[in-house]
Structure formats: C-alpha cells, structure tokens
Amino acid sequence: MLKEMQDLHDLYAKVHATIHQMVDGLTDDQWVKKPADNFNNIASILQHTLLVERRFFAQLKGEAADIDARAPFVATSWDVAKIKEMWAENERLARDAFEHLTAEELDQPGAKLGVGEVNKRQLAAYAIAHTAHHRGQIPLVKKLLDL
C-alpha cells in the first residue's frame, strides 16, 4: 500500500475505533431509539455512513455503485445486527480499496460530489471526513437520550 494511502487508512481506522467506543455497550433498543421524531437514531446515522463508505470505496476501485445512502434516514426500522456486520465488512472494504490504488490512479477522477468533482486521492480523504462528520452526531444523540 502506498504510504499516503496507508496514512489515510490508519486515520480511517482511528475514526472507526472512536465510533466503536461510543456505541460499545449500547443495547439494540438504544441504537434504534430516536431522541425526538425529527432526529435520527444511532442506527440510521451509522447505516447511512456505512452505505456512503461503500459507495466511495467502490468508486475508488473504479466500480459503479447504486447505493441509496439516504434510505436509513427515512426507514422505520433498522437491523442492528446487520449494521454491525456491515461495520466489520466496511473495514475490510476500506483496506481493499486503499491498498490497490497506485500513485497514478490517485490523480484519476474519483467522483462528482456536492463539493464538485474530486480525484481518487480526494475521494479517499472525503470518505473519512464524511464518517468523522457523522461521528460527531452520536454523542449528541446519546446526550439527548441520557445514555
């Protein structure tokens, strides 16, 4: 793996580790409980994050990914066990996507995002930034639920 990508993968793993710590010990009911009708729950936040990561990792590999990452925010039920499985699988998918990128591929087009077109280097960084952004929502939800 390129040093640059190894550094990004290490950061990705660190962000994921902090999320693990935040949700460790929570019950499935706590994962799916909403602090209010207009708030997301922990399950929807994490499932959304995982789906976005999957789309970005596929794009890093040059694959098309038809993934509805907004679905968890409109869902009425969530499978916590499936989300936890996706979590472990995404960590493997990240390594696979990051380790196969060559220096030349990093400058290739990665995706068209809300911020504009980004190359694969930027897409890898954006994947981490997106996860870190949603990571920040978890303590708020926990605080509102008195967890």
How much is the pLDDT for 123?
A: 97
Give the CATH number for residue 126: 1.20.120.450
* Cβ atoms of 39 and 117 closer than 8 Å: no
Total Cβ atoms within 10 A of residue 72: 20
How much is the pLDDT for 126?
A: 97
Which of helix, strand or coil describes residue 81? helix
How much is the pLDDT for 65?
A: 86
- Element holding 142 (H helix, E strand): helix 137-144
Domain that holds residue 31: 3-144
Q: In the predicted model, what is the mean pLDDT of the chain?
A: 96
Phi, psi torsion values for 113, nearest 5 degrees: -115, 180
Report the share of the chain in percent with pLDDT over 90.
97
| HSE (side-chain half, CA atoms, 13 Å) at 79 | 7
Which of helix, strand or coil describes residue 101? coil
Q: How many domains in the chain?
A: 1
Burial readout 124-142 (b: 16 or more C-beta within 10 A, e: otherwise): bbbbbebbbebbebbeebb
Phi, psi torsion values for 2, nearest 5 degrees: -60, 145
64 band by pLDDT with thresholds 50, 70 and 90: confident
Measured between its terminal Cα atoms, the distance across the chain in Å is 39
Provide the H-helix boundaries in 40-100: 42-60, 71-74, 80-99
Q: Which residues contact 126 (CB under 8 A, 6 or more apart)?
A: 56, 113, 115, 118
Tokens of 75: 């869902």
How much is the pLDDT for 73?
A: 96
pLDDT digits (tens, 9 = 90+) for 85-125: 999 999 999 999 999 899 999 999 999 999 999 999 999 99
How much is the pLDDT for 47?
A: 98
What pTM was computed for the model?
Answer: 0.94
How much is the pLDDT for 18?
A: 97
**Mean pLDDT of the 28-38 span:** 96
pLDDT of 13 > 90? The answer is yes
